[in-house]
């Protein structure tokens, strides 16, 4: 028998516990076993609590597939792109997208990332209170739109795309968790449908423009237009629009969440912040040379992995970690669960960038650090995300400190992405005093 999480209610199972505090619930699971069953209404869910079992499951995309009602919903809303496609289409799509993420393109994207970070700083005022989550999301969407489309999207279109995405991200989690709610004619669902239609309209316009003027610049869209699979066929119009939507979806909110958590953690740990300032002030810009900054980002991704729960549908009865799993059930890979196991990461709730000093961590813990997943579906945007995070952190920390507001606890919102619910912070030019009233 597969171990089951205790205290399930009749009919609703663990939904009340999960709904109240999903992270606490997840942290409680590994003591029960390597694979733990959780009951949600009408659904059997198995949560992977051991890194080895997680890696094995992620390597077998045929048995643990992106199919079933949950993924049908995501594809119907946002499209069939690399991060949402089923196993049968995955290899072709991965091949088509790979060139867009080549190293030399990343150097160009890094220039865009720096420009966008500088543009954001240009709007900041000493003493001003901002919502860091909103600011970082604005930054990563602008970077996503500009790296995807180069100069093809003007400021008004970028702003419109950002608004659509905002509505989408707020609605998508509920629609995924409770698929039946998507069919109801509620104002929220109508807003959601409208935002999606607008999003598709803008993206199609940009693609049509790119086809008319194909040599605009070294953006992702140019790479996608040139992409060819084994049979030398490219992406259709529909496929292009879907890939673009899914790339922005997979890349923007995850990276902005990582940045937001990092600011929150730095503000609460002045020693780590001071060391980061020293590194930034040394003038080093090559991300490989920014060793402490890199450790800070890793520790932030360990504590708050933005992609905190990744589902798969079990397509055929199978055995995993010694347990028989039924076809049709859901398997969940959660980096959050692995990253909070106290046997792997002692004092798992503590922010300790020094864990990542060379030789400080043993192999089992290193193997359990999976914020970007594993196997054939491992994040294709990992280097993109790490570059963007480093560029934004260093550009901002060179001049600014982000100070916490006293008496305003920061709470996580575990929706599609694990991000702070809101993160109001006061901007302070480094070396300048600022009053810290509410």
Return the number of other C-beta atoms located less than 10 Å from residue 208's C-beta: 10
Residues 352-391 that bind ligand HEM (CB under 6 A): 371-373, 377, 379-381, 384-385
Q: Specify the residue, 57 or 365, whose C-beta has the smaller distance to ligand HEM.
A: 57
Question: Please, which residues have CB within 8 angstroms of residue 403's CB and are 6 or more apart in sequence?
Answer: 267, 425, 426, 427, 428, 434, 436
CB of 86 to ligand HEM, least distance (A): 10
In this chain, which of 80, 172, 255, 334 binds ligand HEM, going by CB under 6 A? Answer: 255
Both tokens of residue 73? 């919903």
Q: How far apart are CA 245 and CA 203, in angstroms?
A: 8
Both tokens of residue 119? 């543009």
* Residue 427 β-bridge partners: 402
String of DSSP letters for 227-290: ---TTS----HHHHHHHHHHHHHHHHHHHHHHHHHHHHHHHH-HHHHHHHHHHHHTT--SGGG-
Rg (C-alpha) for the chain, rounded Å, is: 22
Give the binding range for ligand HEM (CB under 6 A) out of 180-188, 208-216, 253-261, 281-289.
253-261
CB of 428 to ligand HEM, least distance (A): 26
Q: How far apart are CA 96 and CA 230, in angstroms?
A: 9
Q: Specify the residue, 78 or 395, whose C-beta has the smaller distance to ligand HEM.
A: 78
CB of 287 to ligand HEM, least distance (A): 14
Angle between helices 270-281 and 291-303 (to 10 degrees): 140
Q: Specify the residue, 2 or 147, whose C-beta has the smaller distance to ligand HEM.
A: 147
Half-sphere exposure of 15 (CA within 13 A, CB side): 11
In this chain, which of 23, 45, 83, 272 binds ligand HEM, going by CB under 6 A? Answer: 83
Q: Specify the residue, 306 or 353, whose C-beta has the smaller distance to ligand HEM.
A: 306
CB of 211 to ligand HEM, least distance (A): 22
CB of 169 to ligand HEM, least distance (A): 14
Residues 169-208 that bind ligand HEM (CB under 6 A): none
Question: Site for ligand HEM (CB under 6 A): how many residues?
Answer: 21
Q: Is 413 in a helix, a strand, or coil?
A: strand
Q: Specify the residue, 33 or 371, whose C-beta has the smaller distance to ligand HEM.
A: 371
Residues 122-161 that bind ligand HEM (CB under 6 A): none
Q: Are 23 and 17 in contact (CB under 8 A)?
A: no
CB of 84 to ligand HEM, least distance (A): 8
Q: How far apart are CA 295 and CA 292, in angstroms?
A: 5
Both tokens of residue 113? 């990332």
In this chain, which of 43, 56, 91, 94 binds ligand HEM, going by CB under 6 A? Answer: 94
**Residue with the two structure tokens 């290193």:** 366
φ and ψ of 11, to 5 deg: 65, -60
Residues 308-327 that bind ligand HEM (CB under 6 A): 310
CB of 308 to ligand HEM, least distance (A): 9
CB of 284 to ligand HEM, least distance (A): 22
Residue facing ligand HEM at closest CB distance: 381
CB of 186 to ligand HEM, least distance (A): 29
Both tokens of residue 283? 């003038």
Q: Specify the residue, 78 or 120, whose C-beta has the smaller distance to ligand HEM.
A: 78
Confirm or reject binding of residue 247 to ligand HEM (CB under 6 A): yes
CB of 405 to ligand HEM, least distance (A): 25
Q: Specify the residue, 366 or 430, whose C-beta has the smaller distance to ligand HEM.
A: 366
Q: Specify the residue, 136 or 196, whose C-beta has the smaller distance to ligand HEM.
A: 136
C-alpha dist (Å) from residue 59 to 8, 50, 62, 294, 326: 31, 14, 9, 27, 19
Q: Specify the residue, 17 or 222, whose C-beta has the smaller distance to ligand HEM.
A: 222
Q: Specify the residue, 161 or 428, whose C-beta has the smaller distance to ligand HEM.
A: 161
Name the nearest CA neighbour of 403 among 133, 138, 132, 140.
Answer: 132
Q: Which residues bind ligand HEM (CB under 6 A)?
A: 82-83, 94, 247, 250-251, 254-255, 258, 306-307, 310, 371-373, 377, 379-381, 384-385
């Amino acid at each position: 028998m597969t171990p089951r999480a205790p205290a399930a209610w009749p009919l609703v199972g663990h939904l009340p516990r999960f709904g109240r505090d999903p992270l606490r619930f997840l942290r409680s699971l590994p003591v029960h076993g390597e694979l733990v069953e959780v009951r949600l209404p009408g659904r059997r869910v198995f949560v992977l609590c051991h890194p080895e079992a997680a890696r094995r499951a992620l390597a077998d995309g045929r048995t643990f597939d992106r199919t079933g009602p949950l993924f049908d919903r995501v594809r119907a809303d946002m499209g069939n792109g690399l991060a949402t496609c089923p196993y049968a289409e995955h290899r072709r799509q991965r091949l088509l997208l790979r060139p867009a993420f080549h190293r030399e393109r990343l150097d160009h994207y890094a220039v865009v990332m720096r420009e966008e970070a500088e543009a954001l700083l240009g709007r900041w005022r000493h003493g001003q209170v901002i919502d860091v989550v909103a600011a970082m999301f604005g930054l990563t969407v602008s970077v996503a739109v500009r790296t995807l489309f180069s100069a093809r999207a003007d400021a008004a279109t970028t702003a419109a795309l950002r608004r659509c995405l905002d509505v989408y991200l707020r609605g998508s989690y509920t629609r995924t968790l409770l698929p039946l709610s998507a069919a109801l004619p509620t104002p929220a669902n109508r807003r959601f449908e409208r935002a999606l239609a607008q999003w598709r309209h803008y993206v199609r316009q940009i693609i049509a423009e790119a086809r008319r003027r194909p040599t605009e610049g070294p953006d992702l869209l140019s790479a996608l237009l040139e992409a060819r699979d084994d049979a030398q066929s490219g992406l259709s119009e529909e496929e292009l629009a879907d890939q673009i939507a899914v790339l922005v979806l997979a890349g923007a909110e995850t990276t902005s969440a990582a940045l937001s958590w990092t600011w929150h953690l730095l503000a609460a740990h002045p020693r780590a912040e001071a060391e980061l300032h020293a590194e930034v002030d040394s003038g080093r810009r090559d991300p490989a040379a920014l060793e402490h900054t890199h450790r800070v980002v890793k520790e932030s991704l360990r504590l708050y992995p933005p992609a905190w729960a990744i589902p798969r549908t079990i397509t055929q009865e199978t055995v995993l970690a010694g347990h028989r799993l039924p076809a049709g059930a859901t398997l969940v890979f959660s980096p959050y669960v692995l990253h909070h196991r106290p046997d792997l990461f002692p004092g798992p709730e503590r922010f300790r960038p020094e864990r990542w000093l060379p030789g400080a961590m043993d192999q089992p813990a290193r193997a359990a650090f999976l914020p970007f997943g594993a196997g054939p579906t491992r994040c294709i945007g990992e280097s993109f995300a790490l570059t963007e995070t480093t560029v934004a952190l260093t550009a901002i920390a060179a001049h600014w400190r982000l100070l916490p507001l006293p008496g305003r606890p920061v709470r996580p919102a575990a929706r599609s992405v694990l991000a702070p619910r809101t993160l109001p912070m006061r901007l302070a030019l480094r070396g300048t005093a600022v009053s810290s009233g509410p």
